[in-house]
Chains A and B, each alone.
Chain A
Amino acid sequence: MPSALHIAADLLREAVHRKWMLGLLLAITLAGVLLGWTLQMEVVDGVLASTRLFGLDVGHDLRATDMALRPVFSGTAWFMYVTGLLFGVLACSDFAPEFLAAGRIEHLLALPLRRAELIVGIYLGVLALSVASALYGGVVFTVLFGLKSGIWSWCIVAGALAGCLAFSAVYAAMLASAVFVRSAALSSAIGVALLFAGSVIARPELAALFNAGAPRRWFTAVVSFVPRFWLLGRLGAVAGGFEPLDADLLRTAAGTLIFAGACVMLAIWEFERRDY
């Protein structure tokens, strides 16, 4: 589908010229530089003897370096996952509405490409943007902690990429909403609502609040297809070897990708039957 890739490349070119993209890269770089300057770790015989952040002692107990850094690695992986998702929802909500805006859409439809390719192109472009940002942030923090402590764990990169996986589902729903109603605000709201549903509403603890029987069965059925974002966030810790890889996580990852595919198809269906 080379035409879709052309659209994706077009979207990336447009993103590069936006100030928020430069702001994101600058923020990640600054955070890395700041942490690099202020974080001091003393490692003796494989034991983290002391850690100083901004000149203050943090963590006094003597532990094996990799164990002492586990909370730092998994915390940073979670941070990358969550911020990646939130930033993606807020920053990418206007791509699809702008591509579908009157004047531009007629021009695009005049090009020798199928309508499905246009939708897939927008989707792939935003995903590529998300993956590039996640990789940059993940690698910066991984290298930083690696140089400081001598422990090289790719869990931060994995956490950031897990954010991309979750974002693939969120953005697919946002794209579908933009095709139905061309509004960046609504698209953003759908993204936030799906994030909330996948992080809070679909949790078993919430289902437990419903009476056992029909009410709980109905609730469970309604939220059954919502991606479990709280589970996906564990991918970073799994990649670091801090948590075991279980079937639930694999099923969630596969289900999230399929949910994303379903939303993209829904967007294509609506786009195919519209007159512009």
Chain B
Amino acid sequence: MKRGYLWLLLACGLLGVAAWLMPSNDPAGKQGKESAAAVSFPDHPAAADQAKMQQRRTLPPQAGQSAPTAPGAVAALPAKRDPLLVALPPDRELMVFELSSFFKQPLGQMFSACMRSDAFWHGFESKGLDLGEVDRVAVGNLWSSERLVVVSGNALHADPTQMYRLKEPTAYGVGGQVFAPVEPLPSDAWTPPYVALWNKTTVLFSTSLRAVHEALDRLDGRTPAEPAFPQDEAYSQAYGVVTARSLAEAVSSLGLSEQLRRADLTAHFHIAVSDDAAIVLDAQGSSADAREVAKALAAMLAAKRVQAASAHDKRASKLLDLYSVMPQPHGFQLKVAVPLSFLQDVLAGCAHSDKGAAGATRP
């Protein structure tokens, strides 16, 4: 063989090796190699959420109410209302949980422990209410002595007398039945002795008979009431409104408490939970406070990221990489994906700090 052909042979051989080394471009061979999907922040309702929101609006519009329309637009029919959001008292703070998807997650269980209502949920499960029938649980008047818990479902088979020692029910309004306690109120304010059923779709619990009556009045339309939370924002596994002060209590272990407590802010939050949690928080209030808190939050999250990286916690570090704090004219939007371990630390601190203060209400 001529020496020149050696180069040709070598070239062909190397081309073969190159072809063998190059990753396959066969799409069939690429299946399953895609990286894990990015965290999806609950910053807008998905199509399924929209459908669910519409489905839940079963209360007729408030009498004399017309839906807001843009100038020049044809007047739209007033919107129907979501009973759970109407039953909640108009308060600065409230929380709504999609029971089926949130409280079955580890984070949901931790959260319920943080609310110190374990006995309450346990009472549900073991006695008068099948949790499988429950759709959502909401808490209003969070820090007042008239706290109201609203449980909703499609067809609830609840027997409150199985849960607590209650008297026989008395009818109230169109579809309401109210159960009063046999004995005087216990000292633990988290135990809700007044229970009301409304149309087999809603169960109300409160330490205050007045709060229960007011909720039934709103549901029956005797008292004009707008939903306590914007109906178009009722999506994700947990959502609601909190003040900066409550937030400071909840995340006291993060070292932001003072700044948050001083700030005059109200925040709408949405939480999507899987193995980890994606949180979107829209805070509104005084611009100066918002700017200060936004900077403090961004710096705190940056520090947490560095801590996670130096502890070689790749998952936490990767999730915390995704945070962003977007200043807005009168507030800010925080988006943060946090690993379960991180939330465990935060909520464990919250549960500990509340122990020993059972029954205490916020000043």
Contact = CB atoms under 8 A, between A and B. Distances in A.
Interface of A: 44-47, 49, 60-65, 67, 116, 202-208, 212, 216, 220, 223-228, 231, 247-248, 251-252, 254-256, 258-259, 261-263, 265-266, 268-269, 272-273
12 contacts: A46-B303, A61-B324, A62-B324, A63-B324, A67-B302, A220-B25, A224-B22, A225-B18, A251-B21, A263-B11, A265-B8, A266-B7
Contacts of A272: 3-4, 7
Nearest to A224: B19
B14 interface: yes
B305 interface: yes
B25 A227 contact: no
A150 B321 CA distance: 18
B307 to A, nearest CB: 12
A47 B299 contact: yes
Given A46-B299, A263-B11, A269-B5, A62 B26 contact: no
Given A61-B325, A262-B18, 5 more contacts: A62-B325, A203-B25, A204-B30, A258-B21, A266-B8
Contact of B26 (A220, A266, A269): A220
B282 to A, nearest CB: 14
Contact of B7 (A252, A259, A268): A268
B30 A269 contact: no
Interface of B: 3-5, 7-8, 10-28, 30, 294-295, 297-299, 301-303, 305-306, 321, 323-327
Nearest to B325: A62
A209 to B, nearest CB: 9
Nearest to B322: A67
Nearest to B304: A64
Nearest to A263: B11
A208 B27 contact: yes
B342 to A, nearest CB: 16
Nearest to B6: A269
A202 B295 CA distance: 46
B264 to A, nearest CB: 20
Contact of A258 (B18, B25, B321): B18
A122 to B, nearest CB: 16
Contacts, number: 129
A88 B260 CA distance: 56
Contacts of A259: 14-15, 18
Given A262-B14, A266-B7, A64 B23 contact: no
A203 B28 CA distance: 13
Contacts of A225: 15-16, 18-19, 22
A204 B303 contact: no
Contacts of B297: 62
A105 to B, nearest CB: 18
A258 B21 CA distance: 9
Contacts of A273: 4
A173 to B, nearest CB: 11
Nearest to A268: B7
B295 A49 contact: yes
Given A47-B299, A228-B23, A263-B11, A63 B18 contact: no
Nearest to A269: B7
Given A60-B327, A63-B323, A258-B17, A205 B27 contact: yes
Nearest to A259: B18
Nearest to A264: B11
A265 B22 contact: no
Given A47-B298, A61-B324, A207 B23 contact: no
Contact of A67 (B5, B27, B321): B321
A117 B18 CA distance: 23
Given A225-B15, A258-B17, A262-B18, A220 B298 contact: no
Contacts of B5: 269
Contact of B298 (A62, A206, A269): A62
> Quick one: which of A46, A47, A212, A231 has the most chain B CB within 10 A?
A47
Given A225-B18, A262-B18, A265-B7, A44 B299 contact: yes
Given A46-B302, A258-B18, A262-B14, A220 B24 contact: yes
A169 B324 CA distance: 41
A262 B302 contact: no
Contacts of B305: 64, 67
B211 to A, nearest CB: 40
Contacts of B298: 47, 62-64
Contacts of A45: 295, 299, 302
A207 B27 contact: yes
Contacts of B30: 204
A262 B22 contact: no
